[in-house]
Structure 1
Amino acid sequence: MISGVSNGALPQLRPASTSTSSATSGLQPVVPDASDAATGGFRIDVSQVKPLTGAKPISAADDPFLRDLMATHWLISHETSAPESSVPDNAPENVYAQVKVDGKVVATLYNAGSSAMTNQAAAKIGKLEDPPGLSGPDLAQWRADQYAERLGGTVEKAPTAITQSQWTPRESKSTTYSREQLDAAFQAMLAEGQKATAQQQSSYAASRAQAGTSADFSA
């Protein structure tokens, strides 16, 4: 496989009376319509409210599926935020070779087998299926040869190129965890929550204390 670089109701107003009679004789009481009466007359009969029976709060710790799900997400989020222990595959120190056409670099191959190329080169090469089983420097060499042949260029091996025996594949991250890992993660997640709650309570108490001891000296 080749990876290319590159969106009112207005208030109702009653008109002013034009009658020549006195002001008091022209006023009429406003009678609420049926809908207003129905809405305003709604009341809750407290005597009819009954407490729930048989209901009890459920903790995540009491639900094995929910507990394991939360622990799994906790583990994944902490692994994602952890710093990478090694340089990326496409770092300059991992260059395997370059393909040049008329002295210009049109494609770069890396020791892990990945590659990067210009849009023009990708258009000329088209679809290229990698041989099954190839990986690492062997794949990088095969791709470099194919690119050079299709582009009419040459392959220049980089000083940072390594052999297949020197290459160590990256370990794939698994999202399947043991019982011990899930239990430990759930306890760590609870500890984090308790610590965050304690810090919030401490900050709130400190702010309340500071507000209570403050005084206005502007008088």
Structure 2
Amino acid sequence: MAGAGSYLRSTQAFPSKTTLTPADALPVADADATAATGNAKPGIPVSAVKALDMSGLKIMSVRDNPELRDLMASNWLRMQAANSAAATDVPDNAPQNIYATVKVNGKVVATLYNAGSSAMTNDAAGKVGDWQDPPGLLGPDLAQWRAELFAKAVGGTVEKAPTAITQSEWKPRQTISTDYTRAQLDAAFEAMMAERQTAIAQRYAGYSTPHESSGGSTDFNA
């Protein structure tokens, strides 16, 4: 003991110990091999590269693969229909499609649209919680049902918009058909290939190869 509350521990003598590395544990030959491997350059030696046998390969046109051709044509038709709809259709949540609003103390907390979709503030959504729409209810009828539900949940009032329409006036959006006839698929494939040829021609339109009588010359400017 060396004073109150302190503990003195004597230093023990430990025999010296030699630390071995993994290389020290290997035989001399193995250590040399390890060193050679560490100095070797990464990659595959040229002598180990073998040429692929291309004799059995056959180049096949997409036209000769009916399944792939029809798949490409179907995708092209769906893309065309989607682009056309996006360019002409008015979104369901556009201002001109508002059916009604729900207000609390004069402030709009929810907006209903003619197609039945709705948008609301986070606070209103927390008060409304989860709900299940009645089966088969769509369009303005669904918008009216939701408006009454929201107003009751938040303690607000429903205000019909001047742009509201009746159920008989509402027209559901047409779904994009995925069933195409043989003639539609064939015509779509030809139109798709024509578009690709036009795109390729436009891509290389900047390249020209004029040949002059006083010696041929080629212009590679893009």
Q: Assess same fold via TM > 0.5.
A: yes
**TM-score, normalization by structure 1:** 0.69
Structure 2: which 5+ residue stretches go unaligned?
1-35, 211-216
* CA deviation profile, 1:127-148 (whole Å, cap 9, x unmatched): 1100001111100100011111
Name 1:153's counterpart in structure 2. Answer: 156
Cα 1:210–1:128 change in 2 (3 A) is: same
Question: Which residue of structure 2 aligns with residue 42 of structure 1?
Answer: 47
Letter in 2 for 1:62: D
CA distance in 2, matches of 1:171, 1:162: 18
Q: Distance in 2 between matches of 1:93 and 1:41?
A: 70
Q: Which amino acid aligns with 2:47?
A: F
Structure 1 residues 86, 72: CA separation in 2 closer, same or farther (over 3 Å shift)? same
Q: Deviations over 1:72-105 (max 9, x none)?
A: 1222233333343221111111111111111111
Q: Which runs of 5+ in 1 are unaligned?
A: 1-32, 213-219
1:92 aligned onto 2:95: yes
Q: Which amino acid aligns with 1:42?
A: S
C-alpha displacement of 1:51: 6.7
Q: Deviations over 1:181-213 (max 9, x none)?
A: 11011101111222233334442226985569x
SS in 2 for 1:166: coil
The answer to whether the 8 Å contact 2:98/2:112 transfers is yes
Residue 15 (structure 1) aligns with: none
Q: Deviations over 1:98-137 (max 9, x none)?
A: 1111111110111111111000000000011000011111
Per the alignment, residue 180 of structure 2 pairs with: 177
**Hey, what does 1:25 align to over in structure 2?**
none
1:134 aligns with 2:137: yes
Aligned to 1:198: 201
* Larger deviation, residues 59-68 vs 73-82: 73-82
Cα deviation, residue 150, structure 1: 1.1
Relative distance call for 1:118 and 1:56 in structure 2 (3 A) is same
SS for the counterpart of 2:168 is helix
Deviation at 1:43, TM superposition (A): 8.3
- The 8 Å contact of residues 70 and 185 in structure 2, kept in 1 or not, is answered as yes
Distance in 1 between residues matched to 2:219 and 2:119, nearest whole Å: 59
CA–CA distance in 2 between the matches of 1:44 and 1:168?
Answer: 66
Task: Label 1:211 to 1:185 Cα distance change in 2 as closer, same or farther (>3 A).
Answer: closer
Structure 1 runs of 4+ aligned residues shifted over 4 Å read 43-46, 206-212
The 3-state SS of whatever aligns with 2:47 is coil
After TM superposition, list the pairs within 5 Å mapping 1:23-172 onto structure 2: 42=47, 52=55, 55-82=57-84, 83-172=86-175
> Does the CA contact (< 8 Å) of 2:98 and 2:164 recur in 1?
yes
Q: Of the two structures, which has the highest relative contact order with CA contacts closer than 8 Å and spacing of 6 or more?
A: 1
Percent identity of equivalent pairs? 55
Distance across 1 between alignment mates of 2:79 and 2:110: 35
Q: Is the contact between residue 116 and residue 138 of structure 2 (CA under 8 Å) also seen in structure 1?
A: yes
Alignment CA distance shift 1:99-1:57 (3 Å): same
Secondary structure of 2:141's partner? Answer: helix
1:173 CA displacement? 1.4
| RMSD, matched Cα | 3.0
The match for 2:24 is none
The residue number in structure 2 matching 1:12 is none
